């Protein structure tokens, strides 16, 4: 396929820009002082990246820099009274120094302004190309200290874009930081690319590509860009989902005449058929125990979510409310499902509690798809439409926080939130 | 007879695409009238160029379906019978591409597109066409024929294309 490119370079095609559309009612107020650079020339503003991370979570509001009376960089230079007057509850200060050839060390502190004490000090280091990584790591530490929830700012997104350029389709598989920055092109093809799924170690993606003229499942290493075609069966080859231990993949094949869930053992390349039904069985996703799968089936007449015991092959229907519940994505608590739910002829993202059976609609848009829950369970991302364009949007699992990541151009779809990468 | 069917059908398809998503359903008949002349002219030259084509290749090659359904519509029968007869007298490999509208989830729509293409395949096999000549492939909602998030675009996208 001469028209197929495999690239790891930065692309400026559709870089995502975040707009927070709804935040928490009672956000924690924080001030992030500019990081003292001691003459080091970097293009990123680390303090601004940290501030944007925290604001995007919806749990924080930030004191603007222009309101600050001073820019302290160490705890001993802080006059708490000044910061209390600004109404901030927390203050972040930090300074960076060079420690070797393209190696920089950043010491930062989280200060509790109300209690007038240092919550913690932390030291991070990296090269000039890792400045955004340093910033996201600082955000993770601060978020965890204040909320008690592990931060997911250092994670990544995989997503597919589709454009028509000069009358031809161009499909791209991209990976970016969780905030949409540093977009990297992984695969470009004139034929559809679908269903990206992260390996649990965050180093590989599985996806569906039509580059051979038919759908086939591939796995691709994100660092080396080496890849391998895993399936080449007649009919559907779709919906790959990596097992929690990384050794297997659940997927969909229709070589038997209709779509069935299979499990592929990645070491032995052996396929095991898990469902046996004339209906559509698709969209498998693993339970954290690695022993059960959730999947979509219309065996009851309409698409609903079912649970499958891999050992016994026993299935159990989980959703009953509404005539369309599909594409489950499980939160890390193993209990909350995000899914696509149809009500009054529109398709929303809803959460579904596996224990109580309670379904809550989280979005008001009408053509939502592909929910994917962050590894800390705080937010989920999904694809929706703005006008005629596909965009990615995020909502917290309690629906209190929302933001949109509109691409500058083209159609963005099928977000997949990476696991924790450290 | 076949030719006039082909004209009428293509004209409606093209004009609906040209009318696009902006026009409300009530405006469609006007748009179809306006653009039918244009598309008819385009089609005339196309037919002139391929005067040697056999009857089946002039029959409809796109078959439409209802929402979340894979049942052949009665109006698809005549063209499919023609294709089957042509394949029986002159066997060749064909490809049935199944599609879905954008509503619902992508992988479920892949399955739905395949189910529709299989419905067409089964009909042709019942007419004596060798199953081995027919390749089925689903594109789900990935290759829309008509853009726009409205009933008319969706109805154009729930389809099987014979190639």
Domains located in chain B, CATH noted: 1-53 (no CATH), 55-163 (3.30.1330.60)
Nearest Cβ partner for A326 among B108, B136, B143: B108
pTM of the complete model: 0.86
Q: Which residues contact A78 (CB under 8 A, 6 or more apart)?
A: A72, A91, A93, A111
Dist. CA A239–CA A231, nearest whole Å: 12
Tell me, what's the pLDDT at A399? 84
> How high is the pLDDT of residue B59?
81
CA-CA distance, B6 to B10, in Å (whole number)? Answer: 6
Predicted-complex ipTM score:
0.91
CATH architecture of A156-417: 6 Propeller (2.120)
Q: Which residues contact B108 (CB under 8 A, 6 or more apart)?
A: A280, A282, A283, A296, A298, A303, A326, A327
B110·A414 Cβ contact <8 A:
no
- The pLDDT, as a whole number, for residue A389 is 87
Give Cβ neighbours of residue B44 (< 8 Å, ≥ 6 apart). none
How far apart CA A267 and CA A243 sit, in angstroms, is: 13
Task: Name the minimum distance, in Å, from the CA of A235 to any CA of chain B.
Answer: 6
Closest residue to A254, CB basis, from B105, B114, B143: B114
Contact assignment for A283 to B138 by CB distance below 8 Å: no
Using CB atoms within 10 Å of the CB of residue A381, give its burial: 0 to 12 exposed, 13 to 18 middle, 19+ buried.
Answer: buried
∠ Cα B84 B99 A220 (to 5°): 120
- Strands (DSSP E) found in A313-373: 315-317, 325-330, 336-343, 346-353, 359-361, 369-373
Token pair 């529709």 in the structure block, residue: B116
pLDDT of residue B10: 37
What pLDDT is recorded for position B27?
Answer: 34
Q: What is the dihedral of CA A145, A147, A150, A153, to 10 degrees?
A: -90
- Which are the contacts of B110, defined by CB distance < 8 A and separation ≥ 6? A194, A215, A236, A238, A282, B100, B138, B139, B140
Across the interface, of B108, B118, B136, the residue whose CB is closest to A282 is: B108
Tell me whether A377 touches chain B (CB under 8 Å): no
Q: In what order do the strands lie in the sheet with A248-253?
A: A237-242, A248-253, A260-265, A270-273
In this structure, which topology does domain A25-147 adopt according to CATH? Rossmann fold (3.40.50)
**Distance (Å, rounded) from C-alpha A96 to C-alpha A146?**
23
- What is the model's pLDDT at position B29? 31
What pLDDT does A76 receive?
96
Query: Each residue's pLDDT tens digit in chain A (422 positions)?
Result: 333 444 333 343 445 666 666 666 789 999 999 999 999 999 999 999 999 999 999 999 999 999 999 999 999 999 999 999 999 999 999 999 999 999 999 999 999 999 999 999 999 999 999 999 999 999 999 999 999 999 999 999 999 999 988 888 899 999 999 999 999 999 999 999 999 999 999 999 999 999 999 999 999 999 999 999 999 999 999 999 999 999 999 999 999 999 999 999 999 999 999 999 999 999 999 999 999 999 999 999 999 999 999 999 999 999 999 999 999 999 999 999 999 999 888 999 999 999 999 999 999 888 999 999 999 999 999 999 988 889 999 999 988 889 998 776 789 999 999 999 98
Interface membership of A259 toward B (CB under 8 Å):
yes
Can you give the pLDDT at residue A15? 58
| Domains of chain A, residue spans | 25-147, 156-417
A256 in B contact zone (CB under 8 Å): no
Residue of B nearest to A301 (CA): B68
Total number of residues shown for chain B = 163
* B110-137 average pLDDT score: 97
Query: What average pLDDT score do residues B97-107 get?
Result: 96
Provide the 10 A C-beta neighbour count for residue A77. Answer: 13
């Amino acid at each position: 396929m001469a028209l197929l490119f495999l690239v790891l370079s930065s692309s400026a095609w559709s870089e995502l820009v975040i707009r927070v559309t709804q935040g928490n009612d009672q956000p924690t107020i924080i001030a992030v002082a500019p990081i003292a650079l001691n003459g080091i020339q970097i293009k990123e503003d680390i303090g601004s990246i940290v501030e944007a991370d925290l604001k995007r979570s919806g749990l924080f509001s930030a004191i603007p820099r222009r309101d600050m009376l001073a820019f302290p960089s160490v705890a001993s230079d802080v006059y708490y009274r000044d910061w209390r007057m600004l109404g901030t509850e927390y203050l972040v200060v930090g300074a960076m120094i060079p420690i070797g050839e393209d190696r920089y060390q950043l010491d930062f502190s989280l200060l509790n302004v109300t209690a007038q004490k240092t919550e913690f000090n932390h030291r991070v280091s990296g090269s000039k190309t890792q400045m955004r990584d340093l910033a996201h790591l600082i955000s993770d530490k601060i978020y965890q200290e204040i909320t008690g929830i592990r931060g997911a700012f250092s994670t990544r997104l995989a997503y597919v874009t589709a454009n028509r350029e000069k009358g031809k389709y161009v499909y791209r598989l991209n990976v970016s930081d969780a905030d949409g920055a540093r977009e990297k092109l992984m695969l470009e093809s004139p034929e559809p690319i679908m269903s990206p799924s992260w390996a649990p170690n965050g180093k590989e993606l599985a996806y569906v590509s039509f580059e051979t003229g038919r759908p086939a499942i591939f796995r691709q290493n994100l660092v080396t860009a080496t890849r391998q075609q895993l399936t080449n069966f007649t009919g559907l080859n779709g919906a790959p989902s990596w097992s929690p231990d990384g050794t297997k993949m659940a997927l969909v094949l229709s070589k038997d005449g209709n779509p069935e869930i299979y499990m592929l053992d990645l070491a032995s390349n052996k396929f095991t058929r898990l469902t046996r039904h004339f209906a559509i069985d698709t969209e498998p996703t693993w339970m954290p125990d690695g022993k059960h799968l959730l999947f979509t089936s219309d065996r009851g007449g309409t698409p609903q979510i079912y649970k499958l015991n891999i050992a016994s092959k026993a299935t159990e229907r989980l959703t009953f409310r509404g005539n369309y519940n599909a594409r489950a994505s499980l939160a890390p608590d193993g209990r909350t499902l995000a899914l696509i739910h149809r009500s009054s002829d529109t398709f929303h993202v809803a959460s579904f509690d596996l224990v109580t059976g309670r379904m809550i609609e989280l979005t008001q848009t009408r053509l939502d798809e592909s929910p994917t829950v962050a590894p800390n369970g705080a937010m989920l991302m999904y694809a929706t439409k703005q006008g005629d364009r596909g965009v990615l949007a995020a909502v917290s699992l309690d629906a209190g926080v929302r933001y949109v990541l509109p691409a500058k151009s083209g159609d963005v779809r099928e977000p997949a939130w990476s696991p924790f990468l450290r | 007879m076949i030719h006039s069917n082909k004209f009428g059908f293509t004209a409606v398809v093209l004009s609906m695409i040209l009318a696009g998503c902006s026009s409300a359903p009530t405006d469609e008949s006007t748009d179809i009238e306006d653009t039918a002349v244009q598309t008819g002219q385009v089609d005339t030259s196309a037919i002139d160029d391929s005067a040697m084509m056999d009857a089946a290749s002039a029959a409809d090659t796109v078959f439409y379906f209802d929402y979340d359904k894979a049942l052949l519509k009665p109006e698809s029968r005549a063209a499919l019978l023609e294709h089957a007869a042509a394949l029986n007298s002159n066997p060749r490999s064909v490809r049935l591409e199944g599609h879905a509208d954008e509503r619902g989830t992508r992988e479920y729509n892949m399955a739905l597109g395949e189910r529709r293409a299989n419905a067409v395949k089964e009909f042709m096999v019942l007419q004596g066409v060798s199953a081995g000549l027919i390749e089925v492939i689903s594109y789900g909602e990935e290759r829309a024929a008509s853009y726009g998030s409205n009933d008319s675009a969706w109805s154009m996208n729930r389809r099987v294309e014979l190639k």
